[in-house]
Amino acid sequence: MTSESFRLTSNLRYDAPASLVVFLVALPLCLGIALASGVPLFSGIIAGVVGGIVIGLVSRSPLSVSGPAAGLTVIVLDAVQSLPSFETFLLAVVLAGVLQILLGIFKAGIIGDFIPSSVIKGMLAAIGLILILKQIPHAVGYDSDYSGDMSFVQSDGENTFSALWHMLDKQFTPGAIIISLLSLIFLFWWDATPLRKKSIFQYLPGPLIVVVFGVLANALFMTAAPALAIEAEHLVSIPVAGSFDAFFQLFSFPDFSHIGNQEVWVVALTLGMVASLESLLSIEAVDKLDPFKRTTPTNRELVAQGVGNITSGLIGGMPVTSVIVRSSANVSSGARTRMSAIMHGVMLALCAIAIPALLNKIPLAALAAVLLSVGYKLTKPEIFIKKYQMGWAHLVPFVTTIVAILLTDLLIGIGIGLFVGGAFVIFNNYHSAILHVVDGKNHLIRFKKDMSFMHKYELKRTLEKVPNDSDLVIDISKTGFIDLDNVELINEFIQTASYRDIRVKVRRLEGQISQIVKTANA
């Protein structure tokens, strides 16, 4: 056996349990996102399967997991309602995949390298807080919003905080509370106990035990304590086909007759760009969570996402992206390779075919407990303490990103975080680049380093300090680069200096900064 195959075999002990956890996290999310997006529920399952198997095979990300994403919900819903048919929408998904492949070929993945670390960490912490806030209602049996909604404004007209407030006015489901509370206690104990690393227990993921417990507990409630029994509306709901023929009728295919429809291309462009950006953000975040600090080739990831969306659209699935919730659950469950993502896709496919009725017995409260534990791992108090200790330059963009994502959605929040983070980067990297020496009527302005656009204000103020009837030497001999705005400012000063009786000389190396007027050379 080669060393590579041995590593793969040894990693299966980590990837197999992790794939079970990701499967349990992904199942309600696929269904909930499909429901909120206005597409058939089975379309969400297809996207989850394709995201796991197809993208898992093509991608080179060891820990990222792809599937339907909540961030695309509004775009998908609007597109489904505006296009002539669902089959026409599938055509737009295919075209979006083609666009993503082109973006990968033309090296657009470099965008992810320019995102500050504080913003990425803020995104992860925000996702953790959102998971906690969004799953609390499901944990007590208040399921007015779909499991998987990550936006501040919900599809039911509520928002993240008003839903929690109205939850208090509703009658809780006692059985759901019992299951979620005991499940949470078990999960936190399971993460801390040495028992989980011994013998057979190392192959048993805590979330799987929680789900089995939830199904058995609800069966016991229905038999021994009907008042505690959880009704069907609080359970997983996956489409059940009565036969193989009925199963294959759940698939849909794109309508290529609308290839010339301009609206289809607009939807495709929107889906392709937003899905690519969300995938790059997720990949950047997952790489930071990777305990082995591996780096995903982002251009290859865009190609993989494109192949996934083409495949998903061709067989009736909704758009897919790399999804941070599933990916972080994968990391926290100890996954080592992309086999965990592939195996979770296989599980989704097999369960949708073979045991959909059994899956429909899983209480949403049990799955809420799993997501609550994942959310806590993403937003532990020590994460905030560490950012505080790193200083304001890290803390402010970090907190701003969290608040912005909580009150808007992922992409808008990231945009606000990038703006604030960029402002801090500019502020922290700004240092005076100009030396001004005065000796009577003689003035020397020397550029100590490269002059970027950030130094334009400093240069302008320094030139304004030169009085009338002076001799000025502008020394750029030690400067390798001057921004064109600064060149223009220098030229304007030289050209108008005679009106103030200022005699200007420019000291520079031969051939240096040729844009500065030659008449002023020393």
> Does one domain contain both 122 and 234?
yes
Local confidence band at 312 (pLDDT 50, 70, 90 cut-offs): very high
Both tokens of 494, joined, read 């030289």
Local confidence band at 345 (pLDDT 50, 70, 90 cut-offs): very high
Residue 440 domain-assigned (yes or no): yes
The pLDDT mean for the chain works out to: 87
339: CB partners within 8 A, 6+ apart: 8, 11, 12, 15, 19, 56
Q: Which of the residue ranges 232-241, 308-317, 502-511 would you say has the lowest mean pLDDT?
A: 502-511
> Does one domain contain both 395 and 440?
no
> Does one domain contain both 504 and 384?
no
Q: Where are the beta strands (DSSP E) in 173-236?
A: none
Residue 1 domain-assigned (yes or no): no
pTM, full prediction: 0.78
State the CB neighbour count (10 A cutoff) for residue 168: 9
Residue 125 domain-assigned (yes or no): yes
> Does one domain contain both 220 and 324?
yes
- Return d(Cα 350, Cα 519) in angstroms, integer: 79
Q: Which residues pair with 446 in a beta bridge?
A: 435, 475
Place of tokens 């296009």: 83
Residue 91 domain-assigned (yes or no): yes
> Does one domain contain both 94 and 228?
yes
Considering 386, 419, 452, which residue would you say is the last residue of a domain? Answer: 419
pLDDT above 60 for 1: no
Q: Give how many domains the chain has, as a whole number.
A: 2
pLDDT above 70 for 519: no
> Does one domain contain both 345 and 270?
yes
> Does one domain contain both 267 and 412?
yes
Residue 162 domain-assigned (yes or no): yes
Residue 455 domain-assigned (yes or no): yes
pLDDT above 80 for 438: yes
Q: DSSP labels for 506-520? A: EE--TT-STTS-GGG
pLDDT at 466: 93
> Does one domain contain both 509 and 388?
no
Q: What is the mean pLDDT of residues 483-490?
A: 87
What is the percentage of the chain residues whose pLDDT exceeds 90? 47
Q: What is the mean pLDDT of residues 395-406?
A: 92
| Number of residues assigned to the chain | 522
Both tokens of 145, joined, read 């919003």
pLDDT above 50 for 522: no
Find which of 32-41, 179-188, 384-393, 443-452 is predicted with most confidence, using mean pLDDT. Answer: 179-188
Q: What is the mean pLDDT of residues 416-435?
A: 79
Check residue 233 and report its DSSP letter: G
Secondary structure of residue 161 in the 3-state scheme = helix
Q: Which of 34, 101, 100 is nearest to 316 (CA)?
A: 34
502: CATH: 3.30.750.24
- 152 vs 211, residue with greater confidence: 211
Full residue range of the structural domain in which residue 443 is found: 434-520
Considering 352, 384, 419, which residue would you say is the last residue of a domain? Answer: 419
β-pair type (442-447, 470-475): parallel
> Does one domain contain both 239 and 206?
yes
Q: Which of 151, 44, 101 is nearest to 272 (CA)?
A: 101
Considering 368, 390, 419, which residue would you say is the last residue of a domain? Answer: 419
Q: What is the mean pLDDT of residues 5-33?
A: 77
> Does one domain contain both 480 and 352?
no
> Does one domain contain both 219 and 121?
yes
> Does one domain contain both 175 and 63?
yes
pLDDT at 8: 44
pLDDT above 70 for 512: no
Residue 5 domain-assigned (yes or no): no
Check residue 172 and report its DSSP letter: P
Residue 428 domain-assigned (yes or no): no
